[in-house]
Structure 1
């Protein structure tokens, strides 16, 4: 599959050392970013996480994780609240929201699930962790592709290195772009594993254009991310999360392909009714066999590391 089919031919590749928030993101975010001085490693170490690292990662190691994603640039509080509620009531194991401290506070008021924050600005993560987030994600690039922005392996490695420097003990997930060929995705995943990343996330649904409807169309939609999950999971020892373009039909295929969990975004947040969202999350959770036996982290004895 041609990885560039849904990208404009003039799509720019980011400079490895450039901050992609400059320009496009600063203009699109509803309020200006207030820069904070980056805490030192010692300061971050002193800020004990509210949920232990192993508790956050346990569902990935059990190959039963279901992360519901609101969107890296979704700052709509009502929508985020609905999606987080659906994740909590529907049987998900994690939620993934935009990297904003106020959204984090909103999420943790609604659920005891681990809250992951997504960004491509490492300096934004510490404030979200202080607010209660327990995991960070470099990824969920879909909105960037729509703006013609493509991430290079060098860019992603630099962002990963900086994030690990700032937050050495916080669970870290990194998305491998579908815009790379499968061999290059595998190579990047191996390098990310060497950098100490905890989870590799795949993608591809945005650039898949199914020719069929119904079940056949759902399978076609998921093909790119399923192929990436299969290939990457056989090249690295860390968990792989299959994300983008998945449904209740294809989520079990991701686990069979080698993924340790699935990430679902648009299938949930495109719905306008929280009841419908809950039903969809339950359907996906049931397809993975995790809806009945999920236990809340709030019910476990957790030793903070």
Structure 2
């Protein structure tokens, strides 16, 4: 027995401690399913991300873009249908949960949502979007708004903090010099971006008709794809001003895929849209049926 005034009693097992032990065990047991759920959720997120990035890793991604400011359901539905039927691997729509639901009713392709407001992404991801894009700035350029490297980095950090597991693509503004674009891409990779998207079609004014004009139109984004793909280890998506003529050039230049917007969404007929997507997909060597079947599980 411990001497009076000693600390021996602190080392002896007390009734209270013994009585609480089963409760602690019970609490641990109660917490276990939640931990298991978290592991399963994490595994599901990883599987989804792997499926979304697969086409990029195989250098055959084709993303069809409806437009950052295009909230017209009918127009978006036509673009999504064209992407699905034409053989694209991804579809990119405005960041809106209702549009995501519309798209999910039409395709099993991974749905990307675009915005420059990170807080808008969460509801779209909850609705089923598998990828988010900070980019597609063309509508802002038309209003005289440009984005600095610091602004883009801030948006990327905020997005990654809110959505740590989502596939994140970030467009590097063509308004930056090529060396600055490369440096920004490197910093974005460090911040956790999964894909870097290039642009440049808006700053190009072709002087020649036909094929020469199409190549002129794509020159800025092709140059960016070539340079950035050699500066980062993550996939680069070449976008803006591309066509069936220049899409294969983008892959040759180092891009893991291409993004096509106005060449599709400017058309008024869904059949014409499908034909144009199919033309680009075939130029890249994609098979509509195989692509659709390979990505069918991404939605689930």
User: Do the structures match in fold with TM over 0.5?
Assistant: yes
Describe the shift of the 1:130–1:165 C-alpha distance in structure 2 as closer, same or farther (beyond 3 A).
Answer: same
2:212 maps to 1:204: no
Name the CA distance, whole Å, in 1 between partners of 2:156 and 2:261: 23
The secondary structure found in structure 1 opposite 2:105 is helix
Describe the shift of the 1:274–1:50 C-alpha distance in structure 2 as closer, same or farther (beyond 3 A).
Answer: farther
Describe the shift of the 1:73–1:299 C-alpha distance in structure 2 as closer, same or farther (beyond 3 A).
Answer: closer
Question: Structure 1 residue aligned with 2:64, among 64, 68, 71?
Answer: 68
The secondary structure found in structure 2 opposite 1:174 is strand
2:258 maps to 1:262: yes
Describe the shift of the 1:216–1:192 C-alpha distance in structure 2 as closer, same or farther (beyond 3 A).
Answer: same
Match of 1:238 in 2: 234
Cα displacement (A) at 1:207? 1.2
Name the CA distance, whole Å, in 2 between partners of 1:55 and 1:223: 30
Name the CA distance, whole Å, in 1 between partners of 2:49 and 2:220: 30
Describe the shift of the 1:227–1:102 C-alpha distance in structure 2 as closer, same or farther (beyond 3 A).
Answer: same
Name the CA distance, whole Å, in 2 between partners of 1:130 and 1:46: 14
Name the CA distance, whole Å, in 2 between partners of 1:296 and 1:74: 28
Tell me which stretches of 4 or more aligned residues in structure 1 moved more than 3 Å.
45-51, 297-300
Describe the shift of the 1:50–1:194 C-alpha distance in structure 2 as closer, same or farther (beyond 3 A).
Answer: closer
2:279 maps to 1:279: no
2:230 maps to 1:223: no
Rg comparison, structure with higher value: 2
2:210 maps to 1:214: yes
Describe the shift of the 1:303–1:145 C-alpha distance in structure 2 as closer, same or farther (beyond 3 A).
Answer: closer
Describe the shift of the 1:216–1:163 C-alpha distance in structure 2 as closer, same or farther (beyond 3 A).
Answer: same
Tell me if structure 2 keeps the 8 A contact 1:189–1:236.
yes
Describe the shift of the 1:120–1:255 C-alpha distance in structure 2 as closer, same or farther (beyond 3 A).
Answer: same
Name the CA distance, whole Å, in 2 between partners of 1:78 and 1:299: 23
Q: Which runs of 5+ in 2 are unaligned?
A: 1-37
Describe the shift of the 1:289–1:64 C-alpha distance in structure 2 as closer, same or farther (beyond 3 A).
Answer: same
Name the CA distance, whole Å, in 2 between partners of 1:172 and 1:61: 15
Match of 1:111 in 2: 107
Q: TM-score, normalised by structure 1?
A: 0.82
Name the CA distance, whole Å, in 2 between partners of 1:155 and 1:50: 28
Tell me if structure 1 keeps the 8 A contact 2:181–2:228.
yes
Name the CA distance, whole Å, in 2 between partners of 1:46 and 1:87: 29
Q: Which runs of 5+ in 1 are unaligned?
A: 1-42
Describe the shift of the 1:208–1:168 C-alpha distance in structure 2 as closer, same or farther (beyond 3 A).
Answer: same
The secondary structure found in structure 1 opposite 2:271 is helix
Task: Count how many residue pairs are aligned between Structure 1 and Structure 2.
Answer: 261
Question: Structure 1 residue aligned with 2:92, among 96, 100, 104?
Answer: 96
Cα displacement (A) at 1:295? 3.8
Cα displacement (A) at 1:52? 1.0
Match of 2:118 in 1: 122
Q: TM-score, normalised by structure 2?
A: 0.83
Match of 2:79 in 1: 83
Q: C-alpha deviations, 1:28-56, integer Å up to 9, x for none? A: xxxxxxxxxxxxxxx9x969659711001
Cα displacement (A) at 1:134? 0.5
Tell me if structure 2 keeps the 8 A contact 1:87–1:94.
yes
Tell me if structure 2 keeps the 8 A contact 1:50–1:132.
no
Tell me if structure 2 keeps the 8 A contact 1:49–1:134.
no
